[in-house]
Amino acid sequence: MVIVMKAHSTAAEIGAVIARVQEMGANPHPIYGTERTVVAVVGETRYVDRDAFRSMPGVENITTISAPFKLASRESHADDTIIHVNGASIGGRDLAIMAGPCSVESREQLLETAAAVKEAGAQFLRGGAFKPRTSPYSFQGLGLKGLEILAEAREKYGLYVVTEVMTPEAVPMVAEYADILQIGARNIQNYGLLQAVGRVQRPVLLKRGMMSSIEELLMSAEYILAGGNYRVMLCERGIRTFEKYTRNTFDLNAVPVLKQLSHLPVIADPSHGTGRWDIVPAMARAAVAAGADGLIIEVHPHPAEAISDGAQSLTPARFADLMQQLKRVAEAVDRNISTLSDAQAGAETLDGRSAGVGKELPVPA
């Protein structure tokens, strides 16, 4: 159930509605839209008397959310959610480009990749420090050391860090280093972990499970939102089918379907979606054309030597080339990719100096 407040309802009126919902034993989630506020009522709603709210000052009407995912649903929140991550925003006109290696393997590897993806225009650096591997004998990630390396790259290049957290116990530690917490495909129904990231104030990138339906993905997002963390991004990363020529079947349908069903930003992962670097660019372009709010792409300076996911990793040169292609696709669908070179050109023009075409960009020391 959603209590729709009048366009000019006051903070006191909204506060009174929230208090009344709590008195009735349910959980109120106020959603502040551009035009009006609505209060979504979830949890134990058996003792909630809808009629009691109709006569309260500032209340316009009461509606029902038909979808099982209440807070994630467009019915509760008509506008697109824009997630602010320190200086960046995800879900607006600007596309969020997240790039970096599958795993943090060493300081040198990560800093080299960070410099390259920054130069190509990415704003977010991805890299796993805790890796969910199919085999217990495979590289499990550098752990805390990996987080420290990611933090160093963030300081050095001004990139925002996206990294996976695998257990509820590790959430506070990973949240200290990460700008965005990634929940991996294998953990999408780890409800204890979803609840744990629901309790911290860090944006979450929630990856669709390889065997999850779109509705299951939204129900998992609901766990995080219901915990009070409203900064959730949904990520399509391919599902398992009978097809053998690709690692997963990249379900591009999910992008517009999720945008219809939910107000949350949608990020596409063509690296895991395909498993093949040679078709990553085509599917990245397609995802932007389909309406994705951002991309997460694996990039490795030497893919043949990568400890994990080398076969789907782009070299820095191929990633830079892809970014140029993506700018054109973005423009065609009324989106934008702002790269470092744009920012430099703009800044220098404002400064009254010459535009920075061909200016050398930072490289690691």
Q: Which residue is nearest to ligand PEP (CB)?
A: 184
Q: Of these partners, Mn ion, ligand PEP, none, which one is at the site of residue 273 (CB under 5 to 8 Å by kind)?
A: none
- The CA radius of gyration of the chain, in Å to the nearest whole number, is 22
Q: Which residue is nearest to Mn ion (CB)?
A: 102
* Residue listed under structure tokens 């911290």: 200
Q: Are 265 and 230 in contact (CB under 8 A)?
A: no
Helix and strand element counts for the chain (H, E): 12, 14
Q: Of these partners, ligand PEP, Mn ion, none, which one is at the site of residue 302 (CB under 5 to 8 Å by kind)?
A: none
- Residue of 62, 37, 43, 64 lying closest to 51 (CA atoms): 62
Nearest distance, CB of residue 174 and ligand PEP, angstroms: 14
Nearest distance, CB of residue 292 and ligand PEP, angstroms: 15
40 vs 116 by CB, closer to Mn ion: 116
Instruction: Say how many residues make up the chain.
Output: 365
Q: Of these partners, Mn ion, ligand PEP, none, which one is at the site of residue 179 (CB under 5 to 8 Å by kind)?
A: none
22 vs 241 by CB, closer to ligand PEP: 241
Give the whole-angstrom CA distance, residue 77 versus residue 263: 6
Nearest distance, CB of residue 217 and ligand PEP, angstroms: 12
39 vs 268 by CB, closer to Mn ion: 268
Q: Of these partners, ligand PEP, Mn ion, none, which one is at the site of residue 185 (CB under 5 to 8 Å by kind)?
A: ligand PEP
- CA distance readout (Å), 150 to 51, 268, 347: 53, 22, 27
222 vs 269 by CB, closer to Mn ion: 269
Q: Of these partners, Mn ion, ligand PEP, none, which one is at the site of residue 121 (CB under 5 to 8 Å by kind)?
A: none
All residues at 6 or more sequence positions from 153 whose CB lies less than 8 Å from its CB, including other chains: 110, 111, 114, 125, 159, 161
Sequential DSSP letters for 209-268: PTT--HHHHHHHHHHHHHTT---EEEEE--B--S--SSSSB--TTHHHHHHHHBSS-EEE
Nearest distance, CB of residue 240 and ligand PEP, angstroms: 11
Give the whole-angstrom CA distance, residue 212 versus residue 220: 10
Nearest distance, CB of residue 107 and Mn ion, angstroms: 19
Q: Which residues here bind Mn ion, judged by CB under 5 A? A: 102, 309
Q: Which residues here bind ligand PEP, judged by CB under 6 A? A: 102, 128, 132, 184-186, 207, 237, 272
91 vs 184 by CB, closer to ligand PEP: 184
Nearest distance, CB of residue 343 and ligand PEP, angstroms: 27
53 vs 124 by CB, closer to ligand PEP: 124
CA 273 to chain centre: 16
User: CB neighbours (10 Å) of residue 278?
Assistant: 11
198 vs 301 by CB, closer to Mn ion: 301
